[in-house]
Structure 1
Amino acid sequence: MKIVAAYLLAVLGGNPNPSADDIRSILESVGAEAEDKRINHFLAEVKGKDITEVIAAGREKFASVPSGGSVAAIGVAAPASGGASGAPAAEEPKKEEKVEEKEESDEDMGFSLFD
């Protein structure tokens, strides 16, 4: 990710085709390690491609990725209780009751804050 971020910073800075040295200098300026092998691999992947098209293609791929809907279903499932039939009992989730607290007025305290 840091290589991608450095590449995008260079592009935003006005360099449409950053080199490995450009990316390395950006990473070193913030104290991050610059791995030449990964930088060269990334540059080979984006060579000749427009960065806006690469970003658009990435957004399309992310649109098809599940966004955690199955996690909620797993979190709702409760362990089976040892009933007579051995089948898990269907329990409704407990609803929390909202308790409204009465606001105390100045009259209840016997004095006013502004006296």
Structure 2
Amino acid sequence: MKYLAAYLLATLGGKAEPTKEDVIAVLESVDAEVDQEKIALLITNMAGKSMEEVLEAGRGKMASMPSAGAAAGPAATTAAVVEEESEEEEEESEEDSDLMGGLF
């Protein structure tokens, strides 16, 4: 992901088709580790493609993904389970203090 981000930053910096050296320069400017093979693969895959074309293809893929409302269902269920568990722990804690005669 960092390689693609560096590529995008180089594009925003005015390079229509950033080179391997451009991407490396961006990464080294923030002291990031550089994997030459991954950068070479990125440059090869991006050759001859405009950023607009790549981003549009990504939007098309994202359109088939579930929406945020559908994804919130499992998260809401998980939150309810966690809340229920914490309520049970509070009840157990109150029972324990009752057994001790209210010492604590």
Tell me how far 1:67 sits from its aligned partner. Answer: 3.4
User: What is the aligned residue count?
Assistant: 78
Alpha-carbon separation, structure 1, partners of 2:5 and 2:43: 13
Between 1 and 2, higher relative CO (CA 8 Å, sep ≥ 6) is seen in: 2
Alpha-carbon separation, structure 2, partners of 1:56 and 1:47: 16
- Note closer, same or farther for the CA distance 1:43–1:71 as it changes in structure 2 (3 Å cut): same
Alpha-carbon separation, structure 1, partners of 2:74 and 2:33: 41
**What TM-score does the superposition give when structure 1 sets the normalisation length?**
0.60
Report percent identity of matched pairs: 42
Richer in helix (by share): 2
Superposed CA RMSD: 2.1
Tell me how far 1:64 sits from its aligned partner. Answer: 0.7
1:25 aligned residue: 25
- Note closer, same or farther for the CA distance 1:7–1:73 as it changes in structure 2 (3 Å cut): closer
Q: Which runs of at least 4 in structure 1 moved beyond 3 Å after TM superposition? A: none
Alpha-carbon separation, structure 2, partners of 1:30 and 1:53: 28
Whose radius of gyration is greater, 1 or 2?
1
**Residue identity matched to 1:18:** P
Does residue 3 of the first structure (1) align with residue 16 of the second (2)? no
Task: Give the gaps of 5 or more residues in structure 2.
Answer: 82-104
**What TM-score does the superposition give when structure 2 sets the normalisation length?**
0.66
Task: Give the gaps of 5 or more residues in structure 1.
Answer: 80-115
1:72 aligned residue: 73
1:98 aligned residue: none
